[in-house]
A and B are shown apart, each in its own frame.
Chain A
Amino acid sequence: MSAHEHHAGALPPEPEKATLEGRNKILGFWLFLGAETVLFGTLFSAYLAFRNSVLDGPKPEELFQLPMTFIMTVVLLVSSLTSVFAVQAMHRHKTGQMLGWMAVTIALGAVFLGLEIYEFNEYAHEGHRFTTSAFSSAFYTLVGFHGGHVAFGILWIGLVILQILKKGLTVVTAPKVYVSAIYWHFIDVVWVFIFTVVYLMGKV
């Protein structure tokens, strides 16, 4: 709590780790992601337990449209790449570039979310609703939790962009950029598992 002596003018090379508060935030956030891993792991196991309990509702292989989910996967993976570019720009102290890449990240996130809403809407029309079967409940809970995380990430990174426009890149704002980027990678990784376990395995 004593490392507050940095001046805004001289930004260190890794500004997110320059203060103890920053290092605490990054460590604490990794621990939080450990907890999130267990959360999604449990959701995945519930889904795997129920993926054949479709009753009268549509089966996964009838329901899922791989081209669509493939596009969603590409969009989200690219958004993870752009958030890496944002952090690299931050390490070079290029605030403008960093903000640009962050804006691209949330734009791609919004595209992903839009496609997911469209997808859910389609499923609902095909008779795959939240209350249809144990399969549908587990599907919407797992994929919906992920979608909720994406929505939260969009709001969060958006808020960080606004803050940096106002406060500039400092040792206080840099950890926010970094931590929100780790978060974004995490939901990207979760999606890779959803794409594999839910969609690809649903087709075989």
Chain B
Amino acid sequence: MAAHAHAVKRYPGFWGWLWDWLTTVDHKKIGILYLVAGGLFFVFGGIEALLIRLQLMFPMNDLISEDFYNELITMHGTTMIFLAAMPVIFALMNAVVPLQIGARDVAFPFVNALGFWTFFFGGLLLNLAWLMGEVPDAGWTAYPPLATTAYSSHHGMDYYVLGLQIAGIGTLLGGINFMATIINLRAPGMTFMRMPMFTWASFITSALIVFAFPALTVGLVAMMFDRIFGANFFNVDAGGNIVLWEHIFWLFGHPEVYILILPAFGVISEVISTFSRKRLFGYSTMVFATILIAFLGFMVWAHHMFTTGLGPVANALFSIATMAIAVPTGIKVFNWLFTMWGGSIRFTAANLYAIGFIPTFVMGGVTGVMLASAPADFQYHDSYFVVGHFHYTIVGGLVTGLLAGIHYWWPKMFGRMLHEGLGKLSFWFYIIGFHLTFFVQHFLGLLGMPRRVATYLPNQGFDTMNLVSTIGAILMTVGIAVFFVNVVITSLKPRHAANDPWEDGRTLEWAIPSPAPEYNFKQIPLVRGLDAWWKEKMEGNKELPPAEPLGPIHMPSPSILPFIMGVGFFISGFGFMYNLVFAVIGLVIVLVCMALRSIFDDHGYHIEPEEPKKGEVAA
């Protein structure tokens, strides 16, 4: 940072540092903010998971009460999906996508900051439920009537509805921003079919966000109107219908699982290709498979509702559509295997996570196809089989993929290499712990153990496997703890990662210093093929060919408005629950900030051409 301190006026000391982070519109810093906030919520969700597993360790355990257990499962699911997984995905997208397409920033840097702060304050509002003592407890899917005021009369589910609504605004803004960025800001020569797979995955994920999140918005609005203003959407006595919530929730919720997994697919494609020293096998089929998965992802929401009673025709159609998704997913798995085939594979920590991902995710996919069969689903439904399945896809798939990506791009984000030995140690604890935790849960489910129960009777065949599962959860916790130790140790080391620290980097981000300077590229590069940086290296070039002359670089100004708007949403969220006056005040704050942003044009500032040379790190 110090090398560019003259670029914007910065204040000294702690407050200057804080102000800098609160007002930043730099995608790289916003990526770090997402990573820190997502990591924080991941710890919350992880502690909740650990408490659940400790409670289930022994039959008839009374470590925690039933009410607390319901709160834990609700908050664990909600926190992990919306507040831990989504922001870490956005962290990687922010850190990597503009660099991979040869851009200086995202299309809307201000909106990017706004997306982060609305997400953050939404998550904060949801988690403040713990401090207020009124915690959501109707499950992360919030099915009515359990989630209506009839069965959940305290403010717990209001925190869920309002917190997710606010966080969802942030996510939607992020999705629009990355779509616009990838369409409009690609460097010359970076055609769509030359985009790195992670960028492709980010693009398709953003499209899914744009078209799936508004459905959740409406569902949450309906639930909020029911709970706070006495509307009747889910009030059967007044003509409402609880199945509507199931449809709306899963119309969002199923694309959401592909929103989660596609970025992991993108990460795996990058990591495996780099560490196999081979170009990704079947690039165009990878692109096609990604698009097809996203398309089919919108057609299968009712497979979550087989037991609701939609009838055999609907169940059969959704069953077949769901099984069809296995085809493009299978294409991807084979492409990764063929990428490794004949490659000179390096087993770095990042690559271990990526290779560990493949069989783990395949297992989650296989149980997915089993669940897609409607008659069989009547047996699996609401049992631990389902819990095992979706943890294989979301933890074994997404979290493993994100950990691969974090290890891989850490030097590009922070300029420091994570310690390889600790990385490998964390991987082995994590992967062994993961399979111990969740593999046995499939069999618990087949034996008949229902999900969402706070305890179980002894001698039903559940005892040993639950104990094994809890031991696995503890091993996973050790693995994650080793990762955090690695992060702390690494942050104390000097910042001297090379431009291309893995030496086999293929894409544009490895051609520039680590961490990237705030303008990313001194000159926007000319892209001459797929894996542009690899191509230049193979032709003996030390730098990317420039597509523009050296000149002043225009930068957007930092702004505190996104933070204030986040605070405004936060106040209005509280206001809707406790006092409508504050709801209005909060929304007025947001509208005034929007008007201010519109009235005062941001002319930005320029970094002069000689400055980049000073800040440049000698390779």
Contact = CB atoms under 8 A, between A and B. Distances in A.
Interface stretch (B218-226, B259-267, B358-366): B218-226
A141 B231 contact: yes
Contacts of B213: 35
Contacts of A55: 238-239
Interface string B465-477: 0000000000000
B15 interface: no
A176 B232 contact: no
A124 interface: no
B239 A176 contact: no
A1 interface: yes
Interface residues of A, number: 41
Contacts of A190: none
Q: Name the residue among A2, A31, A43 with the largest chain B CB count within 10 angstroms.
A: A31
B492 interface: no
B104 A1 contact: yes
Given A42-B248, A53-B240, A135-B239, A36 B184 contact: no
A165 B144 CA distance: 51
Contact of A50 (B240, B556, B598): B240
A131 B230 contact: yes
Nearest to B210: A35
Interface string B176-201: 11011001110000000000000000
A146 to B, nearest CB: 13
B184 A24 contact: yes
Given A35-B176, A35-B211, A36-B214, A4 B554 contact: yes
A23 B251 CA distance: 31
B229 A134 contact: no
A163 interface: yes
Contacts of B591: 155
Given A1-B104, A35-B211, A55-B239, A42 B601 contact: no
Interface in B92-134: 104-105, 107-108, 111
A84 B177 CA distance: 27
A46 to B, nearest CB: 6
Contact of A163 (B218, B226, B598, B604): B598
A160 B599 CA distance: 8
A133 interface: yes
A20 B248 contact: no
A1 B226 CA distance: 45
A65 to B, nearest CB: 23
Contacts of B175: 35
Contacts of A81: none
A53 B239 contact: yes
B233 A42 contact: no
A31 B231 contact: no
Interface in A127-148: 130-138, 141
Contacts of B526: none
Contacts of B601: 167, 172
A159 interface: yes
A150 to B, nearest CB: 15
Contacts of A138: 233
A74 interface: no
A173 B196 CA distance: 35
A49 interface: yes
Interface string A24-44: 100110011011101100110
B597 to A, nearest CB: 11
A54 interface: yes
A176 to B, nearest CB: 7
Nearest to A4: B554
Contacts of A42: 214-215, 218-219, 248, 251
B55 interface: no
B441 interface: no
Given A50-B241, A55-B238, A134 B595 contact: no
Contact of B232 (A38, A45, A134, A172): A134
A132 B210 CA distance: 33
Given A1-B105, A46-B244, A130-B231, A176 B598 contact: yes
A45 B111 CA distance: 30
Contacts of B225: 137, 141
A46 B222 contact: yes
Given A131-B231, A134-B238, 4 more contacts: A28-B179, A39-B214, A54-B239, A137-B226
17 contacts: A24-B107, A24-B180, A27-B180, A28-B107, A31-B176, A31-B180, A34-B210, A35-B175, A35-B176, A35-B211, A42-B251, A50-B239, A53-B232, A54-B239, A137-B232, A137-B238, A141-B221
Interface of B: 104-105, 107-108, 111, 172, 175-177, 179-180, 183-185, 210-215, 217-219, 221-222, 225-226, 229-233, 235, 238-241, 244, 247-248, 251, 548, 551, 553-556, 591, 595, 598-599, 601, 604
Closest A-B pairs by Cβ, 9 of them: A53-B239, A134-B239, A137-B231, A39-B214, A42-B218, A38-B214, A28-B180, A134-B240, A131-B230
